Structure 1
Amino acid sequence: MFYSRDLAHQMLGAHLLGLDAENLSMLRHFAGSSNGERVWYPLWAFEFDGTPAAIDYHSDDDFVREVPAPFELVEKAVEQYRWTADDRFLLAPEIASFVRTTMTSFVEAHDPLGTGVAGERGTGDIFQGTATYNEVDRPPYLQVAADGIASQWAAHRALGSVTGSALDEDFAAWNRERAGRLGEHFSSSWWLPDDRHYAAGFTADGPVGGFRLESTWFPAVKGIMGVDRRSDAHLDFLRSGLETAPPSNIEAFTYLPEAFLRYGRDDEALRWIRFLAGSRADYPEVPFTHVAHVAVGLTGLEPGAKEGVVHTRSHLPAGEWIEVADVPVGASVVGVRHEGRRSTEFQVTAGPGVTWSSTWDGGRVTTVDVPNGSRVRAGADGSVVVLREQ
């Protein structure tokens, strides 16, 4: 079977491995399964012949559904559009419809607290719908969850960053505005000053704290937290919770490198990358995300919001190096090698070339145009050397 949550988390690794057609096929399948009868949820899982997985689907009002999943699929559709320059990830009819109904109709139908944050009724029953990915959630059962609002915010933010013909500008502007409002709501209403961490979620009676797995680490994974003392305290809380009450399933750990890398806790992220590699686990999320953690997470390699721009930032400790090659980004194929945080080499081996933007410690940015066939070295000292020209 293939699952919506797993697909969302594995798509980047799959792209790096050349599985774009498979990513698009599965994404279209989930998108096409969302309809009014299912209150705009996509189905949770399919057999590989395209039929709903019987273990997770009994009828249109009795199937597994968890609020973060549709928003993650929307966010990852945008992500894959940026990595592939294939506008089908946004404009294929099933996906285009799914994107709009998820951000509008789905939220309107699932707003239990009237705050604009999608959630559920708080039954704790995954077949009736839950607000969180945490399937071992305990009472009080959340009606809105931190992994839900973080995923909803990330989807709005991703759509708001799209320009050009792939998305209507009015819809993009509306998503930017919604992302801003959700971010402000999270900042003003979800922080628990006495507990020194963000709430895991809310019931009708108010906020719920404590270490609650996905609801604790997703605000960091998605980046909805500001970079400030609050996020520092929340990440300390996350690290402590992982020591005292670690998750029982290996796939849960696959989110941790992303959470810590996003907020510059590179040593902690590398610890979990090594932990996952050492597990030798064959659960699909482990190998797929490992590819992404190493090739993209540690290198900071990612397409920019503007087409033809590629970013890097080393997350390596001093004295270590990493090199990745043959990475398709948009219409070009690129490679990058970091020597600690001291110097970086960037090359383009196919396509029209890119504008390379390298961020260094302290926030300084080096920007260089790199045509096809060229390799350029930039240093933390501001130096730029062309090593090879076409």
Structure 2
Amino acid sequence: MAVANPGFEQGEQGWIWDDGTGVATGNPHTGRCNAYLDSGRERQVRQVVTATGKGTYDVSAWIAAGGPRGAFLVRVNGAPAGEVAVADRSFYSRHTVSRVALRKGDRMEIVFASGGAWVNVDDVMLSPAAPADPRVTSSDPLVAEMFEWAKRKANSWVHLPGTVGPLNVDERQPSGTGTAAYAPSYWAGYAHRSGYYARDTAHQVVGAQILGLTEENKTMLGSFAVSAVAAHVYYPVWAYNFDARTYLSIDYHSPDFFVREVPAPFELVEKTEQAYRWSGDPFYTDGTMWDFCRHTTMEFVEEHDRLKPNGVAEGTGQGIFQGAASYNEGSGEQLVEAGDAFASQYRAYLAASALAAARGEDDQAARYADRAAELRRYFHHGWVANQGAAMTRAYDLSGAPLSGWGKENSWFMPMKRLLLPGPRNDAYLDYIDEMAGGAGKPVNLEAITYLPDTFFANDRDQQAWKWMRYVYDHRNDRHPVAAQGLNGDYPEVAFTLVSQTVEGLMGFRPDAPRARVTTRSHLPRGIDWVRADDIPVGDGFFGLRHDGTHRSTLTNATSKAYTWQARFPGGHRTVRADGRPHEFQWRTLHGSVHTCVNVRIPPGGTATVEIDRE
């Protein structure tokens, strides 16, 4: 099933046109053409698509309007199936009619109608509903509202496999260079480019897993893995087209001249291990993926440790097409080593250790764990100095240490828990919060999406929730890149709010291969309870409810018995599981004492663990 001529590049083909409507070339979102509707409610552009099978779909389009009362609606067999009002915006923003249920042979009619002013339409997209449909409820309606928006928005970026679409679309080539059938994938990067990016994919993987997009994650992570070859000095390429085979041409010119940034390969290793824990899929421990993880944590480091030999992977200081040390592309600094790359390398070693253990390679797992510990020791005793604004965050080509505000090369260090808990970490988190909220605030909202992760990782729940709210509250502001539309039209914004609700607020961490789950409530003051249902893990689903930070309830809807470790901040002396006293232990986790309770939950079972609030 496909929408014919979704970008109107074939003129009026496939669509039905009322008087006062047609195809123009004056205001396309991408390509050369767009549909236009003059003002007047009776003017419509529509297409009927016949369903080839049973399924549920999202229908999206980029729409601009000169005034109010325009409409975008979908009918199934003549009956209304969904409608959204066209926003009164003269620039393009993305509109979606969500979860349209179809059976084989159903006639789905996609309709755009003008209202009090002109309407322009472009880039219509049909997305399959995500395999999972997790639901969140809460004592604070904002939590549920935020998650519902993020879930639906993220789903709208998923490609229907087999859809034929353009390749190499970008601001310089708005019509691209050809077409190909798209692989299972989702948008991860600018919406006016026809591809997914390594950095964005890494940040979106967990959100995608929570929506059940396991095949899409395998395709995308797998494509980066196969590109990290010796000819690229073990860098993965920076971006792929949605066919998952063709490198995105704006970022790839030749094997020695393509965009590459040191944190990305290490983050992809880390996300490989996370995708494995969520899915339990041996794809992530076998063959290509394991080779990628080995090469990244071995040959890649060796090949990129020449200017300042110390076991830390380097950039060239010569820009993104020669290999940048940091994700912060706009600083103008000629960095050789940067805090975000260092922290990502540390997490990659830990991830590789876990993957090696899953393969039964215990000696290799131990070696990777030792490398991580040694790298962290070197960071604290040889690389970093001072604290707060004066703390080291990078080294430049001259070998000089740099401090002050580095955005990504600042916040990645505590986000990845490279910094040990204690005064230096605390002072730096305060500095990050101050700078991100003031003079150093990033202009692009997608950069700010890392801040909830940073503060949740350090048990600063109030600040993490503050930054989640900030991202959500600014989703309808215009993005600084005009073709991108609104901030909320940048895919990373929605995917990360999904993951930050489940992994962040709810502290839900699955380990499907070993049939384990850990939870730790991160509910801030003002949120009494949060409940999430139908969280996909392995071959089934979990449900989780937190009441404050003192009571947690977990439901196991998988085919296996799972061991649940419920964690509660603080050292508590009275613990009950399902109303009865239960054994527990105190553990220090990232510098803070937690009360940890292990409970075994059979398939179909539910357990509640609570602590007395002394």
TM above 0.5, yes or no, is: yes
Deviation of the 1:320 alpha carbon? 2.1
Q: Deviations over 1:320-353 (max 9, x none)?
A: 2111111122344211001111211111122212
1:185 corresponds to: 378
Q: Is the aligned partner of 1:23 residue 2:254?
A: no
2:417 corresponds to: 223
Specify the code of the residue in structure 2 equivalent to 1:350: T
2:533 corresponds to: 325
Deviation of the 1:120 alpha carbon? 1.6
2:501 corresponds to: 294
Across the aligned residues of Structure 1 and Structure 2, the Cα RMSD in angstroms comes to 1.7
**TM-score, structure 1 as length reference:** 0.93
Aligned mates of 1:194, 1:218 — CA distance in 2: 15
Q: Which of 501, 520, 529 is 1:313 aligned to?
A: 520
**TM-score, structure 2 as length reference:** 0.60
Deviation of the 1:198 alpha carbon? 3.5
Deviation of the 1:163 alpha carbon? 5.7
Contact kept in structure 1, 2:211 and 2:536, CA below 8 Å: no
1:388 corresponds to: none
2:467 corresponds to: 272
Contact kept in structure 1, 2:293 and 2:352, CA below 8 Å: no
| Residue correspondence of structure 1 range 36-115 to structure 2 within 5 A | 36-49=230-243, 50-91=245-286, 93-111=287-305, 112-115=307-310
Contact kept in structure 1, 2:279 and 2:512, CA below 8 Å: no
Task: Give the unaligned 5+ runs of structure 2.
Answer: 1-194, 476-487, 571-593
Deviates more, 1:46-55 or 1:201-210: 201-210
1:213 corresponds to: 407
Specify the code of the residue in structure 2 equivalent to 1:315: H
Q: Is the aligned partner of 1:3 residue 2:210?
A: no
How many positions carry a matched residue from both structures?
Answer: 379
Q: Is the aligned partner of 1:336 residue 2:544?
A: yes
Q: Percent identity?
A: 39
Q: Deviations over 1:86-139 (max 9, x none)?
A: 110121x2212211111111101101210000012212x101111000011223
Aligned mates of 2:602, 2:463 — CA distance in 1: 36
Aligned mates of 2:544, 2:406 — CA distance in 1: 37
Contact kept in structure 2, 1:332 and 1:353, CA below 8 Å: no
Aligned mates of 2:518, 2:240 — CA distance in 1: 35
Q: Which of 557, 580, 596 is 1:365 aligned to?
A: 596
Contact kept in structure 1, 2:260 and 2:322, CA below 8 Å: yes
1:153 corresponds to: 346
Aligned mates of 2:213, 2:400 — CA distance in 1: 44
Deviates more, 1:178-187 or 1:195-204: 195-204
Task: Give the unaligned 5+ runs of structure 1.
Answer: 383-390
Q: Is the aligned partner of 1:351 residue 2:559?
A: yes
1:171 corresponds to: 364
Specify the code of the residue in structure 2 equivalent to 1:325: D
Aligned mates of 1:195, 1:286 — CA distance in 2: 28
- SS of 2:327's equivalent? coil
Deviation of the 1:227 alpha carbon? 1.1
| Residue correspondence of structure 1 range 249-260 to structure 2 within 5 A | 249-260=444-455
C-alpha spacing 1:304/1:277, structure 2 compared with 1 (3 Å): same
1:385 corresponds to: none
Aligned mates of 1:160, 1:245 — CA distance in 2: 36
Rg (Cα) greater in structure:
2
Specify the code of the residue in structure 1 equivalent to 2:502: A
- SS of 1:364's equivalent? strand
Q: Is the aligned partner of 1:119 residue 2:314?
A: yes
1:238 corresponds to: 432
1:284 corresponds to: 491
Aligned mates of 2:235, 2:360 — CA distance in 1: 22
Aligned mates of 2:265, 2:253 — CA distance in 1: 19
Q: Counting strand residues as a fraction of each chain, which structure ranks higher?
A: 2
- SS of 1:69's equivalent? helix
1:387 corresponds to: none
Deviation of the 1:29 alpha carbon? 0.6
Deviates more, 1:355-364 or 1:312-321: 312-321
Deviation of the 1:303 alpha carbon? 2.0
Aligned mates of 2:388, 2:447 — CA distance in 1: 24
Aligned mates of 2:362, 2:209 — CA distance in 1: 27
Aligned mates of 2:320, 2:268 — CA distance in 1: 18
C-alpha spacing 1:269/1:54, structure 2 compared with 1 (3 Å): same
Specify the code of the residue in structure 1 equivalent to 2:327: Y
